[in-house]
């Protein structure tokens, strides 16, 4: 989550400096980050048994397409920086604080269950 905040700050600075090159760098890093972060998050949800992980994955796919569209329009020469900034802020507030919070409890429960000591097997008790 904090990476998104960093990208928002970096993008804001690039806009202030009117640096098209910096906006392009932020976009490139954002595409790479979202792909890897979402894959990690989706795997975590699936392992934890989060019942809505398919729907959550669809939301991620839509966001990735939106970011890729920004990148495409940027490469065509369009100034997408302010619209991208607004989109990232909305994503941070709406998705991360609401949607990601929904699966956090499921992950906590699954993690706690995986860390719970298991009773020793028959052979472990027998042979020590």
User: What six digits make up the tokens of 112?
Assistant: 């706690």
Contact 38/3 with Cβ under 8 angstroms? no
pLDDT per position as a tens digit, 101-113: 888 888 888 888 8
Six token digits for residue 19: 């640096």
Confidence of residue 125 (pLDDT cuts 50, 70, 90): low
- Give the burial class of 75: count Cβ atoms within 10 A of its Cβ; 0-12 exposed, 13-18 middle, 19 or more buried: exposed
pTM above 0.85, yes or no: no
Region 115-120 average pLDDT = 68
pLDDT at 21 over 70: yes
Query: Which domains are seen in the chain, by residue range?
Result: 2-116 (1.20.120.50)
**pLDDT tens track for 67-93:** 999 999 999 999 999 999 999 999 888
Tokens representing 95? 């998705």
* Cβ-contact 88, 8 below 8 angstroms: yes
């Amino acid at each position: 989550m904090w990476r998104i905040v960093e990208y928002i700050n970096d993008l804001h600075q690039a806009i202030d400096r009117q640096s098209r090159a910096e906006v392009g760098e932020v976009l490139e890093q954002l595409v790479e980050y979202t792909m890897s972060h979402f894959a990690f998050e989706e795997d975590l949800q699936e392992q934890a048994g989060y019942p809505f992980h398919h729907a959550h994955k669809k939301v991620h796919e839509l966001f990735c397409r939106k970011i890729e569209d920004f990148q495409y329009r940027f490469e065509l020469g369009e100034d997408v920086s302010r619209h991208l900034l607004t989109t990232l802020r909305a994503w941070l507030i709406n998705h991360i604080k609401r949607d990601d919070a929904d699966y956090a409890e499921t992950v906590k429960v699954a993690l706690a269950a995986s860390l719970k000591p298991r009773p020793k097997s028959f052979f472990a008790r027998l042979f020590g």
